[in-house]
Structures are given as C-alpha cells and as structure tokens.
Structure 1
Amino acid sequence: MSAKQPSAKQKAASEAQSDADRTGAGKEKSRRMQSEADRAAVPKHGL
C-alpha cells in the first residue's frame, strides 16, 4: 500500500504551525487550521 500525500490543507496548516512555533504569533489560527485539516483527512467511511 502506498503512502498518502498530505493535502493542500495539511501542508498549509503545517506551514502555519511552523511559523507560529518560530515566531509565537498566530498560534490560535494555526491550531484551527490543523484541526480542520485533520478532520478533512479522516475517510468518510470510518477510520
């Protein structure tokens, strides 16, 4: 089985999280983006 590539949402959330970790700014926004990306990554028919 091949590994799945991260979605655009996941990539954007990861970049936002990295920026927040580096600068200390935008932590809440990056947390929300990460949560949204994680929810979108869950398959429709179970885990």
Structure 2
Amino acid sequence: MAAKNPSERKIKASKAQSQADRTGVGIERARDMQSEADLLDAKKHNQ
C-alpha cells in the first residue's frame, strides 16, 4: 500500500477543523475547508 501524502490544502483544513473542535470557533469555515479539500482530492485522483 502506498503511503498517503495529503495536499497542503488538506493539511490546513485538518488543522482548522481541529482548532474548531477544540474552541468551538470557526466550525462552519473549517467544515467548508474540509469539503473543498475533499472535492479537489477526488477530482485529482479521478482524472
């Protein structure tokens, strides 16, 4: 199995989500960042 190499956008989204989970601030923005990163990864891998 190949090692996963998350995109920079995915890493930023993950950090934003973690902070939102801890603080309760920016939850909607973090959710949007995660969705966008997931969508772009899906497009990248399903060329």
Q: How far apart are the structure 2 equivalents of 1:7 and 1:34?
A: 12
In structure 2, runs of 5+ residues without a counterpart are none
In structure 1, runs of 5+ residues without a counterpart are none
Residues matched between the structures, number: 45
TM-score, normalising length: structure 2: 0.86
Identity %: 53
* Residue aligning to 1:5: 5
Instruction: Return the structure number with greater helix share.
Output: 2
Counterpart residue identity of residue 24, structure 2: G
How many Å apart are 1:2 and its aligned residue?
Answer: 1.5
CA RMSD of aligned residues (A): 1.1
TM-score, normalising length: structure 1: 0.86
How many Å apart are 1:4 and its aligned residue?
Answer: 2.7
1:23 aligns with 2:17: no
Counterpart residue identity of residue 44, structure 1: N
* Residue aligning to 1:41: 41
